[in-house]
């Protein structure tokens, strides 16, 4: 807390704060909880659409899927805890995001993790990477929610500051929706779940809202420890409470613990609350009021219960073998009063903790380096070796086979996973309905570093195209904005540009932003990460296609079609430039709203009609990698025509490849014509070689076997030898 912020607290209270009060303000007003640097900009996001049930500001965003079904979606970061203690940092990230979703009344049905590290040739990065993956697996598998996909990237800039983001999707019936409100005066506050200890004290302020220096290991006690078994019981108990209609409102205890879960629901209800800390079930004695209020012990929920239903609530807790303590009561007026040993230890306006947090209009300006970056292009007058470049791209860990990671995650539980990890978008069925939910998460730090606004917009377009790849139409976005130190003007510029680009793209596609998270201070020893916004896209397919396209369904004799521009030459920010040229510069091609709309609608239509066995969007690695991935997954070769080698590696947006039997030609061409999209026949599948042909001559060829071996070993070989 700064001196100015302390002065604001004194002004609010009309006196010097007590120690416990100061503790509450210090965590609630931290960057992590109060969004004090980002809030002035987040209002830019389009958040409204007829199908939005709950927008940003609650624990999770909620959208209407029709027929009484709702979906709840939330994304969070656990970057700093995961660097300090990879296993527990990642594990508790999973636990926290689950609570955000079942707090809304939803059963969590799937998780996605977006993780980024420095290069794997450094043993410290291998340690962090394997620890984070084990933590996600250890918690997610045991808590019984499948991790069905995610993202993986390795860049120098995440050395010393890995990114660990996690997204959770839940579904619920409309009548089960619960909000984080404390209800009317007289409502009882019941603390459910794990006992409160000294773990994670100040996690929100010490860890999440500060940069790292050399001594970051000393922050390890601020990382919480997860207990997935406790969380599993808590989920089932809460879902039973909702089923029996036993709660007025509920709030999870995450960042800022009891401070947050008492003040926020009371403020939302326009009421106050009295809390007796002596009634909190604790795991160690002699905790001070401040410690009790700040503790971030995991697996706790605060339920707000009508007095008549208290016994029923306690019976459900007893059945599921979780602790339950009555700790307080909602009171008229707006004051939050906290007692310990019979003494009043805090008395503050409940709303002041969440709503009166300071906001900072931090200065921002475009850094001078940006123009230099754009001018820093490569001379490509001499053609590059296509085969060698493709192999190098396929064996890069950011592009190669991620199965070493996702085979450690239970991705099949609940029997909903129709399209699982490894394809562009994931598709989950909702049993007993005709509906399928498609999800994709996308980030690209290099692109956003070169052009924060254009890059962020392209992420929205790309993730929308990814959900279209499995036959869905995009419905809603959540975002996780990972940035460096907001006190630097260039970082703040990257941030504002990102919000603008993302907003413009969402507006162009008519998709609301229903929630998000901001993670600042991702810098270590003064070096900021690339601006790394992550877009989580939810799509709906209703009816769900019976045979959605999959990468492994290519067969000999099938035609290969490219939908979208067939002659891009821009390589700025591409995997080719990073991996082959070891270069980052130039200005990436910007997305185009009209083209984006057309290609997304076309993809949704073709995937839903069921005539295209295999579709794959052109993104990391360009057309050559797109084709190679289809060949590897389908265990087949291909013969692809091209005229300029750069067409094979450009990552320009709004393009995808479709593979289909010759009979499908008329319907593909007709659908593309109708959509105003160029459809180009670029080759065939067959044989055992991936061949590139120019002027009827094979100019580059690799066997599918060697491509497979490079791709399969990209991560595995580094982690297992």
Partner 1 sequence: MNVAVVVFPGSNCEHDVVHALNIVGCDAELVWHRDTDLSGFDGVVLPGGFAHGDYLRTGAIARFSPVMTPVQEMAGAGAPVLGICNGFQILTEAGLLPGVLLANRDLRFICRPVHLRVESTDSILTRSASIGDVLEVPLNSYEGQYTADPKRGSDVTLTYSDRDGLVSPAANPNGSTYNIAGITNEAGNIAGLMPHPERAIEAILGSTDGLVLLESFTTAVSEFADGKTVGV
DSSP 572-591: TT-HHHHHTS----S-PPPP
Cβ of residue 635: shortest distance to partner 1, in angstroms?
12
**Among 45, 409, 656, 711, which residue interacts with partner 1 (rule: CB under 8 A)?**
409
Using the minimum distance from each CB to partner 1, give the nearer residue, 42 or 143.
143
Q: Which strand (E) or helix (H) includes residue 448?
A: helix 445-450
53 versus 314: smaller Cβ distance to partner 1: 314
Considering only residues 153, 410, 617, 652, which one is a binding residue for partner 1 as defined by CB under 8 A? 410
Please state whether the peptide bond connecting residue 368 to the residue before it is cis, i.e. omega within 30 degrees of 0: no
Taking each helix axis from N to C end, the angle separating 123-143 and 704-720, rounded to the nearest 10 degrees, works out to: 90
For partner 1, give the closer residue by CB, 377 or 433. Answer: 433
- 616 in catalytic set: no
CB of 425 to partner 1, least distance (A): 16
Contact region for partner 1 (CB under 8 A) — 137-145, 161-169, 269-277, 473-481? 137-145
Pick the binder of partner 1 from 53, 142, 314, 693 (CB under 8 A). Answer: 142
**Beta-carbon contacts of residue 368 (< 8 Å; ≥ 6 apart):** none
Q: Which listed range, 113-121, 140-148, 342-350, 700-708, lies at the site for partner 1 (CB under 8 A)?
A: 140-148
Q: How far is the CB of 550 from partner 1 (least distance, A)?
A: 10
Is residue 674 part of the contact set for partner 1 (CB under 8 A)?
Answer: no
> Rounded to an integer, what distance in angstroms lies between the CA atom of residue 625 and that of residue 468?
20
Which is it for strands 697-703 and 689-694: parallel, antiparallel or unpaired?
antiparallel
Query: CA-to-CA distance for 299 and 228, rounded, in angstroms?
Result: 8
Stretch 204-243 residues interacting with partner 1 (CB under 8 A): 227-230, 232-233, 236
3-class SS at 401?
coil
Site for partner 1 in 349-378 (CB under 8 A): none
Of 252, 257, 259, the C-alpha closest to 346 is 259
310-319 vs 228-243: helix axis angle to the nearest 10? 140
User: How far is the C-alpha of 456 from the C-alpha of 507, rounded, in Å?
Assistant: 13
Q: 135 or 454, CB closer to partner 1? A: 135
Taking CB under 8 A as the rule, does residue 51 contact partner 1? no
Q: What's the closest the beta carbon of residue 232 comes to partner 1, in angstroms?
A: 6
Residue 718 contacts partner 1 per CB under 8 A:
no
Stretch that binds partner 1, among 73-81, 332-340, 412-420, 610-618 (CB under 8 A): 412-420
Cα(312)–Cα(320) distance, integer angstroms:
13
Q: Is 460 exposed, middle or buried (0-12, 13-18, 19+ CB in 10 A)?
A: buried
- List binders of partner 1 among 416-455 (CB under 8 A): 417-418, 429, 431
Q: Is 78 a catalytic residue?
A: yes
412 binds partner 1 (CB under 8 A): yes
**Residue 590, C-beta contacts closer than 8 angstroms, at least 6 positions apart:** 451, 454, 457, 458
Give residue for tokens 């050559």: 624
Of residues 290 and 425, the one with the C-beta less far from partner 1: 425
Which one of 78, 80, 411, 647 is the catalytic residue?
78
Interacting residue with partner 1 among 315, 375, 415, 698 (CB under 8 A):
415
Binding to partner 1, residues 274-333 (CB under 8 A): 319-321
Would you count residue 403 as binding partner 1 (CB under 8 A)?
Answer: yes
Q: How far apart are CA 491 and CA 461, in angstroms?
A: 23
Is 511 near partner 1 (CB under 8 A)?
no
**DSSP string for residues in 513-555:** EEEEEEE---EETTEEPPPEEEEEEEEEESSPPSS---TT---
Tell me which stretch binds partner 1 (CB under 8 A): 96-104, 130-138, 200-208, 245-253: 130-138
Nearer to partner 1, 25 or 404 (CB): 404
Binding residue count for partner 1, defined by CB under 8 A: 33
By C-alpha distance, which of 431, 383, 198, 362 is closest to 294? 198
Shortest Cβ 436–partner 1 spacing (Å): 10
Helix (H) or strand (E) holding 303: strand 300-305
Q: CA 463 to CA 465: how far, in whole Å?
A: 5
Told to check if 25 binds partner 1 by CB under 8 A, we report no
Nearest distance in Å: CB 233, partner 1? 5
Residue 141 binds partner 1 (CB under 8 A): yes
For the annotated catalytic residues, the residue numbers are 32, 78
List of residues contacting partner 1 (CB under 8 A): 134, 137-138, 141-142, 144, 227-230, 232-233, 236, 319-321, 403, 406-415, 417-418, 429, 431, 546, 720
């Amino acid at each position: 807390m700064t001196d100015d912020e302390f002065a604001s607290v004194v002004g609010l209270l009309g006196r010097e704060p007590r120690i416990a009060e100061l503790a509450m303000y210090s965590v609630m007003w931290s960057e992590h909880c109060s969004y004090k640097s980002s809030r002035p900009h987040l209002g830019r996001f389009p958040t409204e659409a007829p199908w939005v049930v709950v927008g940003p500001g609650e624990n999770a965003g909620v959208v209407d899927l029709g027929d009484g079904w709702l979906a709840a979606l939330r994304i969070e970061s656990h970057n700093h805890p995961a660097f300090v203690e990879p296993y527990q940092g990642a594990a508790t990230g999973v636990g926290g995001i689950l609570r955000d979703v079942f707090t809304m009344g939803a059963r969590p049905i799937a998780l996605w993790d977006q993780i980024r590290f420095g290069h794997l040739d450094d043993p410290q990065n291998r340690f962090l990477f394997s620890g984070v993956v084990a933590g996600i697996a250890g918690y997610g598998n045991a808590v019984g929610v499948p991790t069905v996909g995610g993202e993986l990237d390795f860049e120098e800039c995440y050395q010393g500051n890995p990114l660990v983001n996690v997204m959770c999707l839940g579904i619920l019936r409309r009548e089960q929706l619960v909000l984080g409100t404390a209800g009317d005066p007289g409502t009882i506050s019941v603390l459910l779940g794990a006992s409160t200890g000294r773990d994670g004290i100040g996690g929100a302020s010490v860890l999440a809202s500060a940069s790292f220096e050399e001594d970051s290991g000393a922050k390890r006690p601020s990382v919480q420890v997860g207990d997935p078994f406790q969380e599993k019981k808590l989920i089932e108990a809460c879902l039973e409470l909702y089923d029996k209609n036993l709660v007025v409102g509920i709030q999870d205890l995450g960042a800022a613990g009891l401070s947050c879960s008492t003040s926020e629901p009371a403020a939302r209800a326009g009421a106050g609350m009295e809390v007796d800390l002596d009634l909190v079930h604790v795991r160690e004695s002699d905790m001070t009021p401040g410690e009790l209020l700040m503790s971030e012990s995991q697996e706790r929920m605060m339920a707000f219960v009508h007095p008549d239903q208290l016994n029923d609530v306690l019976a459900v807790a007893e059945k599921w073998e979780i602790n339950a303590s009555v700790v307080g009561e909602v009171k008229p007026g707006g004051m939050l009063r906290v007692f310990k040993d019979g003494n009043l230890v805090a008395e503050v306006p409940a709303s002041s903790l969440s709503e009166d947090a300071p906001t900072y209009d931090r200065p921002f300006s475009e850094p001078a380096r940006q123009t230099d970056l754009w001018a820093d292009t490569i001379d490509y007058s001499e053609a590059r070796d296509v085969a060698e470049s493709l192999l190098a791209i396929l064996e890069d860990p950011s592009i190669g086979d991620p199965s070493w990671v996702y085979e450690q995650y239970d991705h099949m539980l609940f029997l909903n996973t129709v399209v699982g990890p490894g394809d562009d978008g994931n598709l989950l069925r909702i049993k007993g309905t005709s509906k399928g939910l498609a999800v994709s998460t996308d980030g690209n730090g290099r692109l956003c570093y070169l052009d924060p606004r254009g890059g962020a917009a392209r992420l929205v377009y790309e993730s929308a195209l990814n959900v279209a790849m499995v036959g869905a139409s995009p419905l809603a976005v959540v975002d996780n904005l990972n940035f460096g130190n907001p006190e630097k003007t260039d970082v703040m510029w990257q941030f504002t540009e990102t919000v603008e680009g993302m907003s413009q793209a969402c507006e162009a596609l008519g998709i609301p932003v229903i929630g998000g998270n901001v993670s600042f201070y991702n810098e270590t020893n003064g070096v900021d990460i690339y601006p790394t916004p992550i877009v989580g896209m939810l799509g709906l397919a209703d009816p769900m296609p019976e045979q959605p396209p999959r990468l492994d369904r290519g067969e000999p004799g099938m035609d290969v079609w490219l939908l979208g521009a067939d002659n891009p030459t821009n390589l700025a920010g591409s995997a080719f430039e990073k991996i082959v040229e070891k270069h980052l510069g130039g200005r990436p091609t910007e997305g185009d709203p009209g083209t984006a709309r057309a290609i997304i609608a076309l993809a949704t239509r073709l995937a839903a009609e069921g005539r295209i066995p295999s579709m794959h969007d052109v993104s990391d690695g360009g057309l050559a990698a797109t084709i190679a991935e289809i060949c590897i997954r389908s265990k087949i070769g291909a013969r692809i025509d091209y005229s300029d080698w750069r067409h094979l590696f450009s990552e320009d947006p709004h393009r995808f490849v479709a593979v289909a039997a010759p009979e499908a030609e008329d319907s593909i061409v007709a659908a593309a014509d109708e959509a105003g999209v160029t459809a180009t026949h670029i080759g065939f599948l067959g044989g055992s070689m991936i061949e590139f042909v120019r002027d009827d001559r094979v100019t580059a060829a690799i066997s599918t076997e060697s491509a497979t071996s490079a791709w399969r070993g990209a991560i595995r070989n580094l982690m297992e030898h």
